[in-house]
Amino acid sequence: MPTDKVVLITGAAHRLGAATARHLHAAGMRVVLHYRHSAAAAEALRDELEGVRPDSVALVAGDLLEVERLPDIVAESTAAWGRLDVLVNNASTFYPTPFGSVTLSQWEELMGANLRAPFFLAQAAAGELTRREGCIINIVDIHADRPLKDYPVYSMTKAGLVMLTRSLAREMGPAVRVNAIAPGAILWPENMDESTRQQIIERTALKRTGQPQDIADAALYLIDKADYMSGQVLTVDGGRTLGN
The residues that are catalytic are 154
**Nearest to 223, CA basis, from 90, 52, 32, 27:** 27
- Amino acid identity, residue 19? A
**Nearest to 135, CA basis, from 144, 122, 118, 124:** 122
Cα–Cα distance measured from residue 144 to residue 160, given in angstroms and rounded to the nearest whole number: 8
Cα–Cα distance measured from residue 12 to residue 10, given in angstroms and rounded to the nearest whole number: 5
Cα–Cα distance measured from residue 31 to residue 22, given in angstroms and rounded to the nearest whole number: 9
Phi, psi of 58 (to 5 degrees): -130, 155
| Residue 162, CA distances (Å) to 41, 115, 146, 167 in order | 29, 10, 13, 9
Q: Which residues pair with residue 144 across a beta bridge?
A: none
Cα–Cα distance measured from residue 238 to residue 244, given in angstroms and rounded to the nearest whole number: 13
Other beta carbons within 10 Å of 126: 19
43: CB partners within 8 A, 6+ apart: 59
